[in-house]
Amino acid sequence: MFTYKFRKIGLSFFGFFILSVQSISSAFAQEGSLVNAGDTGWVLTSSALVLAMIVPGLALFYGGMVRSKNVLSTMMHSFIAICLVSVVWVFWGYSLAFGPDVGGMIGNLDFVGLTGVGPEPSEGSTIPHLAFMVFQLMFAGITVALISGAIAERMKFSAFVLFAVLWVTCIYAPLAHWVWGGGWLAGLGDLDFAGGTVVHISSGVAALVCALVLGKRNGYGTDNMSPHSLPFTVIGAGLLWVGWFGFNAGSALAADGIAASAFVATQIAAAAGALAWLSVEWGYRGNPTMLGAASGAVAGLVAITPAAGFVGPVSAILIGVGGGVVCYLGVFLKNKMGYDDALDVLGIHGIGGTWGGLATGLFASVGGGTGLFFGNPGQVVIQAIGVGATWVFAGVGTFVILKVVEGVVGLRVSKEEEVIGLDLTQHSERAYG
């Protein structure tokens, strides 16, 4: 009975919501840019799906991979990232990324405080400007959260807070502007459907710089740092997979054929990535692991991200397989080189994003993109420029930001705090028992 009542209330809310959207759309619609209910519904749903990738998805994915004394601090990184970015995005982040272009480099301050960003669609769009804004907000949030995998188990919480605010402002906003906000990479014809460069390369490269500047965890290479809860990580990977449909298919910004194409590409690239990682691992190590399957699926998802709306299903499988293999090598490389990117952000997002960005230039064939294999060799060059520019900008920028943060609050916890664990020393709480 209670459930029934609750559902009735829920339905009437839903009905009210639809009515509101309709009345708003009729009230605010301008010439040539009408709000489309299907498109709007899909983009808002996708925004919520991308949020689910961050909390609880990434929080669980990363939280399971650390030791039990650091699980809360690691989950907190994802949680605080989306909280901070949400506020920054309203005040100045969205304006810097998507405000009117200044020299191809950054947006101006017209949209500060979301001035002029309302329920009416912007020109040429079929969704409310606010829907586009909040969808992009989630992307900014997950990018910052992704980086936290590299600094897990040793960064001061205050340092991460400051880092997150500076990074989304100084690195993410310009990069998003270059590719999606009418900046110089968009002008070149760079293809990045859902954020291979903006989200994955940028977070992966930032992660590498963070790992190098922070240094290794105390006891790295000698202590047992095996994941404390792989079931958390598997659930987290599953949520990432589910949320990625919002991330990729939502990036069509419409409920249309391109969205369906991106949706399909996303699914099969994830599956192919998991199979590829497992195959390499099984052949090379002798055992197929659950963590390997989860990592491979995420690698496939990362790789297909920039290509999702531009490729057919067979290309998507090849890109997914490539993602699984190159990311396995990326993680292998870390073990050889000895930097402590704790949760393999570079290995999976940086390397997978780089492969995906270049592969988009090879396999693009639908949705307005044409790659090398379909008669447009120039696209690979443009993709390489996009990838290279992102590596350099995110790499150098992150280094500068870390030095600033180091000067203001310091980067690492003390050795004693690290040994006790960040949950107790940074947050005064423990996860278990």
Partner 1 sequence: MKLIQAIIKPFKLDEVKEALIELGIQGMTVTEVKGFGRQKGHKETYRGTEYQIEFVPKIKLEIAVADSRVNEALEAITRAAKTGSIGDGKIFVSELQSVIRIRTGETGEGAI
Closer to partner 1 by CB, 112 or 225: give it: 225
Closer to partner 1 by CB, 227 or 367: give it: 227
Name residue 346's amino acid.
L
Distances (CA, A) of 111 to 9, 85, 172, 176: 36, 16, 17, 15
Closer to partner 1 by CB, 63 or 306: give it: 63
Beta bridge partners of 155: 412
DSSP 104: T
Distances (CA, A) of 90 to 109, 110, 309: 11, 12, 28
Closer to partner 1 by CB, 117 or 299: give it: 299
Closer to partner 1 by CB, 234 or 405: give it: 234
- Least separation, in Å, of the C-beta of 227 and partner 1? 6
Instruction: Give SS3 for 128.
Output: strand
- Least separation, in Å, of the C-beta of 59 and partner 1? 19
- Least separation, in Å, of the C-beta of 55 and partner 1? 23
- Least separation, in Å, of the C-beta of 332 and partner 1? 5
23 contacts: CB under 8 Å, gap ≥ 6: none
**Residue whose token pair is 């014809």:** 189
- Least separation, in Å, of the C-beta of 351 and partner 1? 13
Q: Quick check: 265 and 308 in contact, CB under 8 A?
A: yes
- Least separation, in Å, of the C-beta of 226 and partner 1? 5
Secondary structure (H, E, C), 38-56: HHHHHHHHHHHHHHHHHHH
Tokens of 42: 């899909």
Closer to partner 1 by CB, 306 or 323: give it: 323
Q: Quick check: 263 and 231 in contact, CB under 8 A?
A: no
Helix (H) or strand (E) holding 107: strand 106-107
- Least separation, in Å, of the C-beta of 395 and partner 1? 23
Closer to partner 1 by CB, 122 or 289: give it: 289
Q: Which residues would be at the binding site for partner 1 (CB under 8 A)?
A: 224-227, 281, 285, 287, 289, 291-292, 295, 328, 331-332, 335, 344, 347
